[in-house]
Amino acid sequence: MTSIEDKGRFIQAIKCLCPSICKRLYPLSERLENSAQEIRLRINRPLCIVCTDNTYYVTSNGGLTSTPIDGSMYLVTRADIADTFQNICNYSVYTRQNEIINGFVTMFGGHRAGISGTAVVNNGKIVNIRDISSINIRIAREHKGCAKQLLDRLGKLRGGVLICGAPCSGKTTVLRDMARILSMQCGKNVSLIDERGELAGAVSGVFRNDVGMCDVYDSYKKSEAMMQAVRSMAPDIIICDEIGAADDIEAIEHTVNSGVIVIATVHAANEYELKHKENIRRIFKTGAFSKVVFLSDKKTPGKVVKISEAGDIFGS
């Protein structure tokens, strides 16, 4: 997928990094603008850029190589990690605590920073993460029109749609464009559940991504937002990303019983992976989904490889 809406996304993402890394990546922006998917920082390890075609490492002189070379790489320092972490939290770590304990922080523009380190546990629950050792910046993409062909193939929606794919397969990008098209061009009332802030990319209530005429529930827990949307917004369609939690089951069942169509995504590269997700099997028993869409891998993100009837996968 390529689109003019992608212009500047890479630069937008690297501005959230510490200055020492940002200044090394900026000269590479023209080369990486359209293909970079992730920027991975690991303490005392080479700075890594994951692209659709390959994984690259940044050399100490500002070049790129697909194979790390001892003594010639830019190694991420503890200070780089600390400065980047403060930056992605807008120097207000306390206000991002709910995201941090779940292992990610949503950044300006809908980019997402995954974090790992040492868990701080209290009464069996993670209450904080300290000594951050890795940060993975997932670059958010916007490709207007990328879902049109899929919607044309699906035809008139008579039931829910589940979009499946591996990480970096374009699920969120396709979902966002479906929300835009259905709310703008099809005249549907769409409630968009944006639990992680990646779909609309809201900053202070202003959406950085084009989600059309959707009613957006930003940073709500999915199950709670579904219930609220059904009660108060009279949606024709509810759209949400990454379902599969136990409390999603009841909320989706309630949504479907209220006559609302659900369009969602799930991490599953193929039918085998999908069928082995216990909560997904339980969700299918609610009758929420009639169609299952499988996307290609990260080399061709957003490409539809198969559309199946739900009954063909899980039985009628």
Q: Are 17 and 125 members of one domain? A: yes
pLDDT at 172: 92
Residue 287 placed within a domain: yes
For 32, the domain range is 4-138
pLDDT at 3: 42
Do residues 11 and 97 share a domain? yes
Residues 155 and 301 in one domain: yes
Residues 132 and 218 in one domain: no
Same domain as 159, residue 100: no
- pLDDT tens-digit readout, 54-72: 999 999 999 999 999 889 9
- List of the chain residues with pLDDT < 50: 1-4
- Is 143 inside a domain boundary? no
Q: Do residues 134 and 152 share a domain?
A: no
The interaxial angle of helices 246-257 and 222-232, nearest 10 deg, is 20
Quick one: 167 and 244 in the same domain? Answer: yes
pTM value > 0.85? no
Say how many domains are in the chain.
2
Torsion of CA 96, 102, 106, 107, to 10 degrees: 60
CATH value at residue 209:
3.40.50.300
The whole-number pLDDT of residue 6 equals 62
Residue 15 within any structural domain of the chain? yes
pLDDT at 1: 43
With a pLDDT cut of 90, the percent of the chain lying above it is 76
206-216 pLDDT, tens per residue? 788 899 999 99
Mean of the per-residue pLDDT values for the chain? 92
Looking at the structure, tell me whether residues 182 and 62 fall in a common domain.
Answer: no
Helix then strand then coil, in percent of the chain rounded to 5, is: 35, 30, 35
